[in-house]
Structure 1
Amino acid sequence: MLGLSYFSFADLWSPLFLAAILLLIAGYFVVIGPLSGKFPGSGPVSLWQRLLFVSGIIALYLAQGGPVSLLGHIMFSFHMLSMALSYLVAVPLIMLGIPEWIWRALLKVNPLRRLSFLAHPVVAALVFNGLFSLYHIPAIHDYVMLNFTVHRLYYLVLFLTAGLMWWTLINPLPERRMASGLGKIGFIFLNMVLLTPACGLIIFADQTLYATYSDPDTWAQAMGYCVSGDPAVLLQNFGGPTFFGLMSPKVDQQVGGIAMKFIQEIIFASMLAYVFYHWYKKENGQDDAEVSGSPSEVDGGHLTRA
């Protein structure tokens, strides 16, 4: 299927990355279990949260170490699927799976506190979407794909900035919230708008933009970082990425842009409905959890009484 039978188990499943992923999951369960008593205010973690964390880690593995990652070096549409899984699916699921008491412990680390300005909603949205759009400028994309260290570092930075972007929407700490319900709605629309130019460039381009998916030599060099053996053998055996393609490079490119925008729209539309529902309940005095008692909210980074 899709030419996967031509590649080895190691090429498809990245055993070292899989081992790292399994260790990360094991570490999570150790922290929320035997080591939880070392965290102030710790408590039991629900089964739902555990499932969210594990699901997010699995999504990240499939996108960056599993078959989707390999196919992302062959077809641009799968590259964009990998992007969506990594930063629009895996990141929020992982964050939702981390309990409040771990977040409070993490945010006490001094280097993180000094970088807190990056979590400001507008800054976070501009940084993540800016880096994502910059990456998909053809010359930059091909350079990153052909330089292994730069590739890994850029993806790590995208992962971290995606976390900063999602923090505005799924921050579980009432004392650190920087946006009201209406502010979150505006933030969602801002993210939807900021990603549109990059997707539009890809969808409506009248030619193939990326040598990685159209030039056989460039493709073979990029593939050399994710498969074993001599990249020259790939050229001898397959001739280039079109051997595996279900569609022409141009159509594949358009499908990738559409898929990225479509997935983003679905995810943010779902988040918009969720935020609007709870904001509406609060505004109408129906959200007892927030209306009763004496809640505190963050306004511009300073605690104020509601």
Structure 2
Amino acid sequence: MPVHDPYAWALDFEALGLVPAVGIAYSLALRRYPAERWRIACFAAGLALILAAFVTPLHTLSMHFLLSAHLLQNVVLAEWAPALCVLGLPPALAAAACRRSVVGTLTHPLVALPLWLGTYFAWHVPAAYDAALRHPTSLIHVEHGCYFVAGFLFWWPALQNAPHRLSGGTRALYLFAAFVLAAPLGLLLALIPRAVYDFYVHAPHRIWGLSPLADQQIGGAAMALEQASVLFAASTYFFLRFLGGDERAEAYRSLQRSS
């Protein structure tokens, strides 16, 4: 088996082709559905994160050396990049997309959250996880695509108003539920007393002096900490907005303008 440089940049041609194509499609959509600069910046940042996940040394470390690196890559694809891309959607474009019943159904909180959780947990089953890593030109792309699509649908009810305009309190509860239900996965990986992913247990080359179990514990703890910081912080933000009455004030101003 060839020895890989753990710090080598990767040439993932799927990402190098797909990310620019999505960027071009987004630019064309902006002609019909203009967006504020901050939304455009968010969408661009989301695409940049996806590209970074596949061409930087993170991808090399993920595919050949460290479970913890792969868990970080999964977090980027399932949480960070989708959140930024959803924020980057112009509201008019989101509303137009929701005219299709399938979009409205998939972005319903009671559908999007179980779908995201199910995707997250299913792909972390050792048999599925190892199988994806052993098929780096096929199944691994299915896994990564599932993460992003599920993450995109998950963030939609929290960050967009169409088609389900949720109150700040409901958004806070939605994100808090996601935090509570997703946290056990990272904690389980951090606390279980043996390494469960054979692909990394039998990896021919190890770096940084990490055993497979230590690598798994670091990755699990980092995942749990990330979800606590991102999901709990987002939940707190919407809860504070709800307590502050921002939405009630906005509704009152809208009523005044219409009268």
Deviation at 1:246, TM superposition (A): 4.1
- Find out whether 1:261 has 2:252 as its counterpart: no
CA distance in 1, matches of 2:205, 2:161: 44
CA distance in 1, matches of 2:120, 2:103: 20
State the Cα deviation string for residues 99-143 of structure 1 (Å, max 9, x = none). Answer: 11222232334xxx1353332213321221122112112122112
**Structure 2 residue aligned with 1:4:** 6
Structure 1 153/209 Cα, relative in aligned 2: closer, same or farther at 3 Å? same
**Structure 1 residue aligned with 2:252:** 291
Deviation at 1:179, TM superposition (A): 3.0
Structure 1 29/290 Cα, relative in aligned 2: closer, same or farther at 3 Å? same
TM-score of the pair, normalised by structure 2:
0.86
Deviation at 1:164, TM superposition (A): 1.5
Structure 1 or 2: more helix by fraction: 2
Deviation at 1:13, TM superposition (A): 3.9
Give aligned-pair identity as a percent.
Answer: 21
Q: 1:79 aligns with which of 63, 70, 81?
A: 70
**Structure 2 residue aligned with 1:209:** 196
Mapped contact 2:123–2:129 kept (Cα < 8 A)? yes
Aligned residues: 251
CA distance in 1, matches of 2:174, 2:247: 24
- Find out whether 1:179 has 2:181 as its counterpart: no
**Structure 2 residue aligned with 1:165:** 154
Deviation at 1:288, TM superposition (A): 3.0
State the Cα deviation string for residues 60-80 of structure 1 (Å, max 9, x = none). Answer: 111234322221122011111
In structure 1, give the amino acid aligned to 2:117.
Answer: N
CA distance in 2, matches of 1:262, 1:277: 22
Deviation at 1:16, TM superposition (A): 5.2
Alignment of 1:80-99 (within 5 A): 80-99=71-90
**Structure 2 residue aligned with 1:68:** 58
In structure 2, give the amino acid aligned to 1:247.
Answer: L
**Structure 1 residue aligned with 2:49:** 59
Alignment of 1:186-225 (within 5 A): 186-216=173-203
Greater C-alpha radius of gyration = 1
Contiguous gaps of at least 5 residues in structure 2:
none
CA distance in 2, matches of 1:255, 1:280: 36
CA distance in 2, matches of 1:95, 1:162: 10
CA RMSD between the two structures: 2.4
Structure 1 57/286 Cα, relative in aligned 2: closer, same or farther at 3 Å? closer
Contiguous gaps of at least 5 residues in structure 1:
217-239, 296-306
Mapped contact 2:179–2:228 kept (Cα < 8 A)? yes
Secondary structure of 1:108's aligned partner: coil
Structure 1 246/53 Cα, relative in aligned 2: closer, same or farther at 3 Å? farther
Q: 1:144 aligns with which of 112, 128, 132?
A: 132
In structure 2, give the amino acid aligned to 1:289.
Answer: E
Mapped contact 1:75–1:241 kept (Cα < 8 A)? no
Structure 1 122/64 Cα, relative in aligned 2: closer, same or farther at 3 Å? farther
CA distance in 2, matches of 1:289, 1:241: 58
Mapped contact 1:75–1:245 kept (Cα < 8 A)? no
**Structure 1 residue aligned with 2:104:** 116
Secondary structure of 1:293's aligned partner: helix
CA distance in 2, matches of 1:17, 1:85: 14
CA distance in 2, matches of 1:16, 1:184: 34
CA distance in 1, matches of 2:172, 2:14: 40
Return structure 1 stretches of 4+ with deviation > 4 angstroms: none
Mapped contact 1:13–1:67 kept (Cα < 8 A)? no
